[in-house]
Every structure is written in C-alpha cells, then in structure tokens.
Amino acid sequence: MALDVVKVIEVFKVAPAPSTSPTATISGDYLPLTFFDALWLRFPPIQFLFFNEIKDLSLSVFSDDILPKLKHALSLTLQYYPPLAGNLTWHPLTGKPAIRFATDDDGIHLTVAESAADFHSLSTDDIKEAKDMHSLLSSDFHVSQNQATVISLQVTLFPGSGFSIGYTAHHAALDGKSAAMFIKSWANVCHVGSLPPELTPVLERSLINDPLDICTIFTDKWKKMPPEGTFHLMEMKPDPGLLRGTFRLSRQQIGQIKSKISGHVSSFTAVCSYIWTCLVKAEEGDITNENVFLIINMDCRARLEPPIPSNYIGNCVALRAAKTKVVSLEGGDGLVTAAAAIKEAVGSLPQGVVKGAENWLSEAASTFAGQKTYGIGGSPWFELFGADFGWGRPAKVEMVSIDKAGAFSLCDARDEEGGIEIGIVFNKHKIEAFKSIFHERLQDIGNYLRF
C-alpha cells in the first residue's frame, strides 16, 4: 500500500474534559516513573491497530456520527487518565524522568485520515506486507532530547468498508496490559458512557516500593547510552520486505498441544512452546548461535509484596528468558524441551519480584547481545477484541510494533472463547516456511493423539 493512498484530513488535540471529581489522587503536576517504567525508557513504542468493519460507511456518517463520538469519549476517558494527555520529560527538581501534565497545552494528538486501500486486504489473516500498517498510525509521536509523547492516535476512514484506530504509546508510560486497558476504557465510555471498576485506573506510584532507588540506576544507564542524556529511542528498524500473517489456534488445538507435552502445562506455555519450535524450524540453517532465547514479559501486579491492584496503570512487568539449544528445538522432542525451558524461566522469578531487579538492565545487555532471541508481544488475557466502541467487536486487531521487536504477538480470538491469534512477521521465504510447518505439525499432533 503506497503512502499516498492515506490522506490526512485533520489533526485534533483532545484534552481531558473538565472534571470536578478526579478519580485518582496525584500530587503536583508530575507523575514520577517507577523502576518498572524506567526499564523501558528508550524502547520503541507499543503500536496497535483496531479494524472496525461497517458496510457502506459514508464520509458523512463517519464525520457527523462516528468521529464526534470517538472524540467526545476520548476527552471523557482522559478524566480518568489525565497523565496520558501530558508528556514525558525530566523532573525539574529530581532530574528523574516523569510525566508532566495539568497544563493548558495538554492533550492527545488525534489524526483523522482517509485511505483508498482495500480494507479487507489489510484486515485479513492472510499474509500481507508489514509496512502497509504504518501509514495507519499517527506521525504525531514526537521524541526529542528533553521530551517525548505519551500517546498518539489515528482514526482512518475506509469509505464503504469501515475505519481503523491506530494507537501508539510510549513504553515507559504503559505496559501492554495498561495500553489495552486504556483502549478498552475509551471504547467503554464511547459505547456505554461509563467505566466499570475493573477499567477504572489506579495511578498511584507509591504502590511500587523502590528502597534501592532502582529507577535512578536504570535512568543513569540509559543516560550514558548515545545520544547521551536524551529521550531518543533505540533505533530498531524493521528489515525491508517483511510480511505479516495471523495464525490461529482453537481451544481444541491448544488442548491437543498440551496433551502432547508431558506433565501439566498452562495454555500460555503450550502455545509459546509450539510457536517457538515452529519459528526455529522455519529459520533452520539461518540461526548460527548454539542457543536460542525466548523473552517472556511477566505481569508482576499480583506478585509484588504486597500485591497491587490489577487495574494499576503503568509498567509492572519483569523479563524472564527461556533458553535452550537450537538443535533441541528442531528435534522430535522440541515441544517438550521448549515447555521445560519456559516453565523453568517463569519459575525463576523470585518471591516479591524486586529481589535482584537492580541488575535487570545490565544483565539483559550482557545476556542477549549477539544472541538469537524471540520475544512475545501482547497477551490473550488483554482481551483486545472486547474493545467495542459501539459498532461491534473489531474485525481485526494487529500489534504493529512486533515488526521492529523481533517478536510474535498473542491475542484473544475474535470468534472463539479460549482460542488464540498469533501474529508473525518474517520475510517471504520464512513466513511461507512457518505457515507450512505450523499447519503440518498441528495435523501430526492430531494424528498422534488419535491413534
């Protein structure tokens, strides 16, 4: 899809609606970052696309009905999330990174565009060019030496077919769970006009204990990386010619994979083990390392001492690394080997989580440098297909940012409870190989269990 098929119509700045009863107690005009946030200070942003199908959608209906509702609901939602309308910057007193808000200039940039591309080609599970998604994301995501955008949005009309919502969020402000919660909050306000308790955010940063001042340790390490002392993000440019595809596992198929693995494993472990082995097989011969890693983001809200609310907004994830030999994943017992490595990695998270956290950044830099690693983006537990803005469940959800991160994405299935959608980005040769391996192995597992 050429960039000229997307035409920007207008750019709005949507500010939080005036509120006489704030839902969160935040002192001052700055929301400090925690060490969980500072860990991601210079990582690329989180990017999602939501495709909403509306047959015969006209420009007038879009402009007069849909867009005003989206804007108004966004403004109301920001009453609950006021810092997200601000900017990341350096706190003038502490010198630490913080989100500055509560100024007259606050607001989220909302780009409105129109696309001449084929809506159904972009929102299909079929293999398509990865770069075609990027013109559906706002270009008003700015990062400079002393300031960075927290969130930018783009709503793109596809006349006669529907519209998309592109979402870009700074990773130091939100983890995947928080990003999903904000989108679902916006959708809920747009659809029903209010938020249930589980979508009402908790913003209180004092919930995260940091007696060792790990936030400063992480911030100082980032400041020393070139360009020094800035908010500039790490360059992670996707390779040219990348293709994107969606692969589905039904609840039944996930059960079959679990049955093939000896011992009790969770659906998450089973699915990640299966995808990990398929990825390695698809790259057979191209991986020159002896070992291969799978990076797992673990939600720590319930693992802290004491636990914090599940609707806490910010970052609260720890990185765990599953490691095994490439040759072990390529063999017949690869699925069992992968599951064992994942279970060991997940089980290695210390009680209370914070123990040893001061070394997370330095350990990651030394462990993964030059190594073959895969990551996992998103989660089926985010329930992104629940983001109904009032025009039905999304026809498609894509995690765009995986094409820069070398990760695969996990999402709940649109049409089946308990199913999972997997997003994969590879070059043409490897994605075709992955597709073949993915389906052949599923058939083999089914045959194995049948006899």
Q: In degrees to the nearest 10, what's the CA dihedral of 113, 118, 123, 126?
A: -150
**Known catalytic membership, residue 134:** no
Q: Alpha helices, DSSP H only, in 261-333? A: 267-282, 326-330
DSSP letter assigned to residue 61: H
Beta bridge partners of 97: 90
Among the listed residues 106, 171, 210, 412, the single catalytic one is: 171
**Known catalytic membership, residue 299:** no
**Are the C-beta atoms of 171 and 67 separated by less than 8 Å?**
no
Sheet holding 372-378, edge to edge: 128-129, 243-249, 420-426, 407-412, 372-378, 291-299, 317-325
Among the listed residues 29, 132, 299, 388, the single catalytic one is: 388
* Angle between helical axes of 251-260 and 267-282 (0-180°, round to 10): 80
Beta strands 291-299 and 372-378, pairing class: parallel
Helix (H, G, I), strand (E, B) or coil at 113: strand
Backbone angles phi, psi at 285, to 5 degrees: 90, -20
Cα distances (Å, whole numbers) of residue 139 to 15, 149, 167, 324, 348 = 18, 11, 11, 39, 40
**Are the C-beta atoms of 446 and 302 separated by less than 8 Å?**
no
Write out the catalytic residue numbers.
171, 388
